[in-house]
Each structure stands twice: as structure tokens, then as C-alpha cells.
Structure 1
């Protein structure tokens, strides 16, 4: 992290001055993110530009880039996730303000008039992690289930017959009971 990078900034004042902050941060320094990673080696590069939109709302634009090491949930081996996220944030004070933002703008709620720059970077990286991280099927060492493939033809016929008459078994039992009486 750059020694000149402030920890907290006033987003409205920064937008009025069109401030820009950029740098690198070690993944190990992002504690919430670090707990989700298999390895905290590496860093994230970022750029945050504060500006005002045509309605005088404070906005934060920029990018976050990193390569993170996660555990594949299919084979439990290490996998690399490259992140190249574009930020397009609208600064809000109360949740109701989010409704007035354009659809392509994500809200960032600011409490006590300040925003922590590295929290913005960390949030973007956390959001980039899939709910279930996995290698691509052709890159994974685990055997990939082909559940989406069609079953063999003889299994399809059997399934079709059962689906056509789910009460066929009951009808057979009734016939058997009637013949015994």
C-alpha cells in the first residue's frame, strides 16, 4: 500500500476535488478476504476516482485487479481466480437513496461521512469470489459428473413408462388382491 494513501476519505469532498487514489495492497492485509483464500500470497492493484455525476451525486469509479488462490470445491486443489473488476459506485447515506441511482451504479453506503478506501477494494474482491469456487470441468482433477447428459435409451423408456402411469403399481396390487378373493 502506498504510504501517501489515506485510510479514510470524505467521498463528497473528494468528489468535489476530483481526487484519485491508486496503489497496491497485499491480500494478507485484507483480513475479511484473507479468511476466504487458500493462500494470501499476492496483492491487488486498484484505482479509485471520485467525481460527481450530472445530478451532482458523488460517484466512485475505477478498477480492482488481482489473482487470488482459492480451494476448488470439486477436487479440493488450489485454483487461481483472476479478478479484473470495474467499479461504478454511487455514494449514499441512507438505503432509500439507492433507488434513485441508475441501474448500472452500485450503491455504497457511507456512515459518519467517511469511507475506508481499502474496504472498497476488499468488498470488490469478496464479491468476485463465486459462491462455490471450482476449476473449469476440463481443468479439474476430480471426476466430473455428467448429470446433464441424457441417460441410455433403455433407461429413458423405463422412466417414460413410469411417468405415464404413476399408479400402475397400485393397479397391479389391486388386481392381485381381487384374484385372491
Structure 2
């Protein structure tokens, strides 16, 4: 039976019961992800399919997929970059870091220090890992087209005499340079 992910869950119990979750979470609920995003529309969400279970070695695991598109800033042109995310979850539950040495390479560790955990946190962790350190458009010409469009949109006509900017110091300088009046 597939259900919507709860706010808190016991991951060990979920693994023993082989629970499955599917649904969508609004990107606005991830506080650590927010600074990386240009905006979070009300419709922007991550869809997830998560399965808890026990692997062949008796290890509690979390597997699944995450799909979304993140709107981030391209570091080349500073324009908006739609970053598609298709992440695969392959996590092993660990009670402490001592078990990390026996963890096979196919699993990433998920340290569980409390009985109940907010599953939204490990989803946010995976989304953060999916954002490159320097996000940029794949093709430099996209950035060049975007920059050209921005320059064209913000070009300003040369100032006319009517719109000439008045220098606030011009009058003071003119008086200062003028010869003093004689009495």
C-alpha cells in the first residue's frame, strides 16, 4: 500500500514493515534549499516514490526516486536556469558512524540518531546534493543570447539637453572659481 509521507516517522519500523510512500512536496517547505532558488512558485514541487525495506544482508534501507525542476541562478550569465533533478535514493539506515565502515559502496549513509525522523530532511539533502557547486547553462551560447537580450532591453538613449543631469556641485565650483568681488 502506497501512502503520503508523514511529517515524522520511525524509519526502523518503516523498514521492517516495508512501507512505501509516494506523492509531492512543495519546494517551499525546504528551508536550506530556498537560498539556492530564484523563486519557488506555489506549483513548484518535488515528486517522490520512497520504499523502506530490508536488504539481503539484513540492513535497513531506503530506496526511491525524486523528480523536480529547480529554478537556480546561472553563474555564467546570472539568468534563470531550469535545473532538472532526477535523483535516485539508495540509503542505508545507521544508528552510529561505527557501522559506516561495513557499508557497501552502493549505499549512502543515513544517520538516524532519534527514534522519529522528519523524512523531508533526507529529501532536502538529496535535492541539495543535486545542485552543482557552480550551476550554469550547458551551452555558452544560451548565456550569450540571454545577455544580449538583457543589454537590448536596458539600452538607454544618450541624454538630451533637456534630460541632462544636473551636477549638484557645479554651482558651488563655479562660485569658488569666480574672482572675489571688490568693495
Deviation, 1:4, is: 5.0
RMSD: 1.6
Instruction: Tell me the residue number matched to 1:16.
Output: 16
Q: Describe the superposition over 1:28-66 as per-residue Cα deviations: whole angstroms up to 9, x where unpaired.
A: 111111121111121100111000011211100001100
Q: 2:56 pairs with 41, 54, 57, which one? A: 54
- The answer on 1:136 being equivalent to 2:133 is no
Structure 1 segments, 4+ long, off by >3 Å, are none
Q: Describe the superposition over 1:88-109 as per-residue Cα deviations: whole angstroms up to 9, x where unpaired.
A: 0000011121221110100000
Instruction: Tell me the residue number matched to 1:43.
Output: 45
1:139/1:97 Cα in 2 relative to 1: closer, same or farther (>3 Å)?
Answer: farther
3-state SS of the aligned residue for 2:33?
helix
Distance in 1 (alpha carbons) for counterparts of 2:88 and 2:144: 33
TM-score (norm 2): 0.73
Could you tell me which runs of 5 or more consecutive residues in structure 1 were left unpaired when the two chains were aligned. Answer: 144-181
Matches within 5 A, 1:75-114: 75-114=77-116
Distance in 2 (alpha carbons) for counterparts of 1:139 and 1:20: 43
3-state SS of the aligned residue for 2:121?
helix
Could you tell me which runs of 5 or more consecutive residues in structure 2 were left unpaired when the two chains were aligned. Answer: 146-183
Distance in 1 (alpha carbons) for counterparts of 2:112 and 2:141: 41
Kept after mapping to 1: 8 A contact 2:4/2:23: no
Distance in 2 (alpha carbons) for counterparts of 1:10 and 1:113: 6
Distance in 2 (alpha carbons) for counterparts of 1:141 and 1:63: 31
Distance in 1 (alpha carbons) for counterparts of 2:99 and 2:7: 25
TM-score (norm 1): 0.73
